[in-house]
Amino acid sequence: MNHDRYPDAYIRGILDSVKTIAMVGASAKDVRPSYLAMKYLLQKGFDVIPVNPGQVGKELLGQKVYASLAELPHPVDMVEIFRSSEHAGAVVEEALALTPPPKVIWMQLGVRNDEAAERAEAEGIQVVMDRCPKIEYGRLSGEIAWAGVNTRTLSSRRPTLSGTGVQHLSLRKPKSSPDE
Amino acid sequence: MSEERVPGFSTLAIHAGAQPDPTTGARATPIYQTTSYVFDDVDHAAALFGLQTFGNIYTRIGNPTCAVLEERVAALEGGTAALAVASGHAAQLIILHTLLEPGDEFIAARQLYGGSINQFNHSFKKFGWNVVWADVDDISSFENAVTPKTKAIFIESIANPGGIVTDMEAIAKVARRAGVPLIVDNTLATPYLCKPIEHGADIVVHSLTKFIGGHGNSIGGIIVDGGTFNWSREGRYPTLSEPCESYQGMVLHETFGNFAFAIACRVLGLRDLGPAMSPFNAFLILTGCETLPLRMQTHSDNALAVAEYLSDHPKVSWVSYAGLPGDRHHTLAKRYTPKGAGAVLTFGVRGGYDAGVKLVSSVELFSHLANLGDTRSLIIHPASTTHRQLADAQKTSAGAGPDVVRLSVGIEDKDDIIADLDQALDKID
Ligand SMILES: Cc1ncc(COP(=O)(O)O)c(C=O)c1O
């Protein structure tokens, strides 16, 4: 995978298939990007498990916090890393040690560790680096266009409402015919 | 459409940002003429106000019709995001409000729209934003103007009034060395003729009033974030790199990455200063935007024909149009605006002030008014109108000497445009 520029289909495929996400470095501060992403992903129906040794025993956005990936109660589809690029390597090692390992490892906007990505990809794991899942979900659903952002997508199909209120679009591809 | 295909300019001019309406299926972009939007519940409201989720709250901060225009122009310019506002001048106000603190400086080209010169010289000084002027024909004047207080450089790609094409790449180098963003007013060129971000601009600004709207019916402005500048590297742009008090300590650059500047302009500048675009204007400008490539090419082709005609006319002493071979900016025009040099040109009529007045009084097809970028051909004699209050020496240094006439050549048949000038020039004795 070329980690400088991901095809939209690659990111869409990931966000469309994963259900459970372990979020390493989830912050309890409500203006930190990890908190914002976790809140948004929960609202979009993902099952997000916060991992943060400093918050063990507490709840974050109603979810129990775990100290490490090894302590998770059940397997996860994706590990999302909110740590610095240098620390991301160790988190990837922990993720690779899980049984079963996650299908996807995602490093947050600003986080990139090519060496760790190569190790994960060698195990057949899909990797995304230097991207925010909230921004990508917003971009591919079209929600982020309300903020004037260039989604770099074009379509003459009607966007799909997610069904949870008016101002929520779904990631599902627009339908090709009204009664499909 | 295959996702990896990059759509061409004409496709983007029609489609970017505009999917059918999700609830009604309306294909044209609806005019969401509403001030506000209902919340699902208090949590949704809190998430919107805290910038935790995407969505509309109040039309001063964002509107779905305006948002389509924003994505459209961001896509045409190759930027990451945009913010539409009430006018070109409002866009300039919000950009500098986001970048400067009182006591800071910015460098601006002397060759700017006269209204921008006024805005910078007088109104912005009241905010403590100090303009330092430089000359686009002498790049070292930009270099020499840089001080530790410099926060931005502001230029026009093609300068109004007419004829001047700026060497953007040379000035972008000065900006990079100084560690400040380059802001380019691309109003006269439009992204059809020139894309400043490809030449080193970090922020692009437009008066949409002109060619992008293109039909002389709506005032508007837009700010495009190039996504190219690192706001946090030196901590010189605290609005973007420091915790933001009115959003509970959120750091905008860290949260919004390469479109943080556009977000800051919206959630701080537009929210607090207030010059929002009307959704109805956004609709009209969007409709104009769809034909931008067709219009801009015709504007440029017609302007070149008019410039050639005027160059040979005995009552015309000089013509300034970078599209003319032999013009002093022609080499730069070939490099930066290869498809054409735009619609606007200036020329001198023999006989000075009185001849200028006679000319604008004798045209029939041309409209005598103070605008440019309309489908219609427009004419103005600055010395008797926009620059009337200045002394003669000041008029001349502002490029508005007694003999100067400015045209914004429209997209009528070029023979009719030339015939009208011909009969009007004939009336000058
Ligand atoms: C190059 C340029 N920039 C900015 C403006 C200001 O735009 P507005 O009139 O939309 O405020 C104008 C208007 O003439 C212009 O020509």
**Mean predicted confidence (pLDDT) in A161-174:** 77
Domain boundaries, chain A: 8-137
The CA distance from B125 to B183, in Å, is: 18
Name residues 134-153 of chain B within 8 A of A (Cβ).
none
CA pair distance B3, B360, nearest whole angstrom: 52
Inter-chain touch B15–A154, beta carbons under 8 Å: yes
Distance in Å, alpha carbon of A149 to nearest chain B alpha carbon: 4
pLDDT in tens, B178-189: 999 999 999 999
Give the rounded percent of residues in chain B with a pLDDT score beyond 70. 99
- Rounded to an integer, the average pLDDT of A82-102 is 97
Domain A8-137 has CATH 3.40.50.720: yes
Instruction: Give which of B80, B11, B82 is closest to A156, Cα–Cα.
Output: B11
Q: Regarding predicted confidence, which is higher, B280 or B160?
A: B280
What are the tens digits of pLDDT across the range B300-332?
Answer: 999 999 999 999 999 999 999 999 999 999 999
Q: How far is CA A64 from CA A51, A54, A83, B194, B290, in A?
A: 9, 13, 19, 53, 51
User: Taking all residues of chain A, what is their mean pLDDT, rounded to a whole number?
Assistant: 93
Q: Which of A31, A161, A167 lies closest to B247 in CB terms?
A: A31
> Ligand 1 mean position to B49 CA, how many Å?
32
Domain ranges of chain B: 9-288, 292-426
| Measured CA distances, B30 to B39, B61, B288, B364 (Å) | 20, 18, 15, 37
pLDDT score recorded for residue A165: 72
Q: What are the φ and ψ backbone dihedral angles of A14, each rounded to 5 degrees? A: -65, -50
- List the 230-289 stretch of B: residues with Cβ below 8 A of A: 243, 247-251, 254-257, 259, 262-263, 266
Question: For chain A, first and last CA: distance in Å?
Answer: 33
Is the per-residue pLDDT at A177 higher than 50?
no
Instruction: Sheet containing B81-85: give its strands across.
Output: B81-85, B221-225, B203-207, B182-185, B150-156, B105-109, B130-134
**Is domain B9-288 in CATH 3.40.640.10, yes or no?**
yes
State whether B15 and A31 contact (CB < 8 Å): no
Q: What is the pLDDT of residues B134-151, one digit of tens each?
A: 999 999 999 999 999 999
With vertex at residue B416, the alpha carbon angle to CA B410 and CA B419, rounded to the nearest 5 degrees, is 115
pLDDT reported for residue A173: 64
Which of A40, A158, A178 minimises the CB distance to B52? A40
Asked if B22 and A151 come within 8 Å (Cβ–Cβ), the reply is no
Whether B240 has a pLDDT exceeding 70, the answer reads: yes
Domain covering B292-426: architecture: Alpha-Beta Complex (3.90)
Confidence of residue B400 (pLDDT cuts 50, 70, 90): confident
- Give B369-397 pLDDT, tens digit per residue: 999 999 999 999 999 998 888 788 878 87
Backbone dihedral region for residue B93 (phi beyond 0: left; psi -120 to 50: alpha; all else: beta): alpha
- Mean pLDDT on B253-259: 95
pLDDT for residue A175 is more than 60:
no
B157, two tokens: 């790609």
Element (H, E) at B379: strand B378-380
Q: What is the pLDDT of residue B1?
A: 44
